[in-house]
């Protein structure tokens, strides 16, 4: 998967658009980085639901630490196969940037 960068506008709160993942990858692993420019609180969330089916309202789950209720920049990885990942910002006085890189499972 290509590098995907999601940047919020200043003082944005709410959820970003979901970033689709390749849940069929042989080895599922996503590198995640969230940069906080000022102060804020956020969760990185994932869903197993089909984000392309308009009849389904996806159920979103918070990722484990350091991406739940986070107030500072953080980096880590996620290995649970999922359909999509998004950034949910609950408080913000600046700009937040989430970068995702999913391994392809190919040599």
pLDDT, one tens digit for every residue, the chain (107 residues): 789 999 999 999 999 999 999 988 888 999 999 999 999 999 999 999 999 999 999 999 999 999 999 999 999 999 999 999 999 999 999 999 999 999 976 65
Q: Is residue 107 part of a domain?
A: no
Beta strands in the chain (DSSP E): 4-7, 14-15, 19-20, 30-36, 40-47, 61-62, 74-78, 84-92, 96-102
Position 16 in a domain: yes
* Overall domain count for the chain: 1
What is the domain-level CATH number for residue 69? Answer: 2.60.120
pTM for this prediction: 0.94
Q: Which residues pair with residue 61 across a beta bridge?
A: 46
Residue 75: half-sphere exposure toward Cβ, Cα within 13 Å: 6
Q: How far apart are CA 88 and CA 75, in angstroms?
A: 16
């Amino acid at each position: 998967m290509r590098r995907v960068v999601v940047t919020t506008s200043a003082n944005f709160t709410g959820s970003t658009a979901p970033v689709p993942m390749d849940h069929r990858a042989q080895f599922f692993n996503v590198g995640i980085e969230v940069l906080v420019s000022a102060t804020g609180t956020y969760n990185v969330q994932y869903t197993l639901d089909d984000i392309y089916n308009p009849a389904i309202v996806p159920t979103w789950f918070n990722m484990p630490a350091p991406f739940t209720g986070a107030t500072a920049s953080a980096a880590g990885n996620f290995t649970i196969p999922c359909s999509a990942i998004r950034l949910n910002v609950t408080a913000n006085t600046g700009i937040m940037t989430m970068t995702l890189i999913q391994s392809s499972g190919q040599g």
